[in-house]
Amino acid sequence: MIPARGYQGRRVGVLGLGRSGLAAARALAAGGAQPVCWDDAEPARAAAAAEGFELGDLTREGAAWEGLAALIVSPGIPHLHPAPHRAVEIAFARGVAVDNDVGLFFRSAATEDWAAFDSPPRIVCVTGSNGKSTTTALIAHILRRAGRKAQMGGNIGRGVLDLDPLEDGETVVLELSSYQIELARALAPDVAVFLNLSPDHLDRHAGLGGYFAAKARLFELGGPERAVIGVDQPEGRFLANRMRENEGDGAPVIAVSARRVEDAGWSVTFRKGFVAERRGGRQVAAVDLRPARALRGAHNWQNAACAYAACRALGLSPRAIEAGLMDFPGLPHRLETVGEAGGVPFVNDSKATNADAAEKALSAFERVRWIAGGVPKAGGIAPLAPLFGRVAKAYLIGQAAPEFAAQLGEVPHEICGDLETAFALAAQEARPGEAVLLAPACASFDQFRDFEARGDAFRALARAWIARHDGRLAAADEEDAR
């Protein structure tokens, strides 16, 4: 845990008692503050009370607000759009500073001990609409693979204040959402990464401009030493231009693009499975990503390119980075190759809960046996029609099955009902060179608790199938030996 600094002996409100809220309360208490906790849900309040925290109804004027120095708000609680939470409104009216756990982290991570360190800790922050988790985990993996101490947290893994106090030479890699960035009163990454932007959370940010502005705060308020920025969209080009300091060399920006970046600065490009680094208009290093099974598809090439750039900014060599890219295991439920049998890979992309995510999964393979369906999203799979030529056959499950069948038209498909039936048919009918792919393009709630449970079920089915296949091969080899 990182003790929260700056509030010793003072009362601090904590609104929202999920993972980040409880971690903030513990960090405040460890730093000598007195947390006053509230959540609109009674079970969350009970959990906080069980840890000995004071409860106070922050949605009402009263004793809970007396002497409150600040209000720490969990990311999911709105503070502006579509409307501020009642407790936030009271804080505004009373002049109480509103912050979040990320702001507390950046105010608290550095300690007096750092002055004695040989190598001060570094902080890398990753944001964007798509690929944040993979890029964050990939950077942390590359660092550890190269022998560097690294922790990972934020919107993935551990909450920012639940991390261990930073040590000499250590790097912390944080995934930060727009919700986490927009309210933080302090942001100070050494390296900040902007991947991409697509419409999301528009009600929370009052439109795409507000959504981008929230993410841009990481760079504008944070003032990173190096800014790794995807520049294939107007927002990325705008942000890169704003961050550039010197005409010519482009510092501190490392521009990342699917196309060749025509400038004299520092850039990393990704195309056709290769990542190439350029400085001063000359290529200085390249990595072939095609053997990296966990980094299939153009979207993962962008993730890899941004991770490469961030690690170069941290001083790693191209060869050290390449080694980490090659053996990165990937994240569960995100184009996760569970295994292979008879030349057929079984790929779990249960996190593909909408058409945009499923598009990236389908684009990563030439020929697929596609398991799709669940609770449908608006538009279904109609936007994926340009990729239907890659589908050897679709196996449809859940509530969306009839709608998806109609949208597939003449593409071979079968309504299977449930995942077990769909998997059995797909595995039996798959031929070498095809992939059995779970990319549902749907929420899971009709048949599963969440996308993780759905992915776990697919993984279990695939492993059982592979074990039976390997057992049959072993039996056949034994028979041939006789």
Scan for tokens 């993996």, then name that residue. Answer: 141
- Which of 36, 185, 168 shows the shortest CA–CA distance to 107? 185
Active site residue 85: no
Q: Name the helix (H) or strand (E) containing 15.
A: strand 11-15
Would you say 131 is a known binding-site residue? yes
Check 81, 201, 377, 469 and give the catalytic one: 201
Q: CA of 341: how far to CAs of 17, 433, 472, in Å?
A: 45, 11, 11
Asked if 202 and 208 count as a contact pair (C-beta separation under 8 A), the reply is yes
Judge whether 79 counts as a catalytic residue: no
Catalytic residue of the set 132, 141, 360, 413: 132
Sign of the dihedral through C-alpha 219, 225, 231, 234: positive
Residue with tokens 């569970």: 338
Catalytic site residue 348? no
Would you say 128 is a known binding-site residue? yes
Determine the residue type at 302. Q
Counting other chains too, the contacts that 91-96 makes at CB distance below 8 Å and 24 or more residues apart are 91/13, 94/65, 94/68, 96/13, 96/65, 96/68, 96/69, 96/70, 96/71
52 is in an annotated binding site: no
Which position among 79, 100, 155, 351 bears the catalytic label?
Answer: 155
Before 252, cis peptide (omega within 30)? yes
Q: CA 176: distance to chain centroid? A: 8
Distance CA 359, CA 343 (A): 23
Per DSSP, the three-state class of 386 is helix
Helix (H, G, I), strand (E, B) or coil at 363: helix
133 labeled binding residue: yes
Strand locations in 95-218, DSSP E?
A: 97-99, 122-127, 150-154, 171-175, 191-194
130 marked as part of a ligand binding site = yes
Spatial contact of 7 and 33, defined as CB atoms under 8 Å apart: yes
Supply 99's token pair: 């912050």
The Cα–Cα gap between 85 and 93 comes to: 13
Distance CA 91, CA 361 (A): 44
Classify 209 as helix, strand or coil: helix
Kindly tell me the burial class for residue 441, based on how many C-beta atoms sit within 10 Å of its own C-beta (0-12, 13-18, 19 or more). buried
Tokens of 376: 């449908």
The kind and range of the H/E element at 47 are: helix 42-50
Least Cα distance to 318 among 305, 308, 310 occurs for 308
Binding residues for ATP: 128-134
Which residues are designated catalytic? 132, 155, 201
Binding residues: 128-134
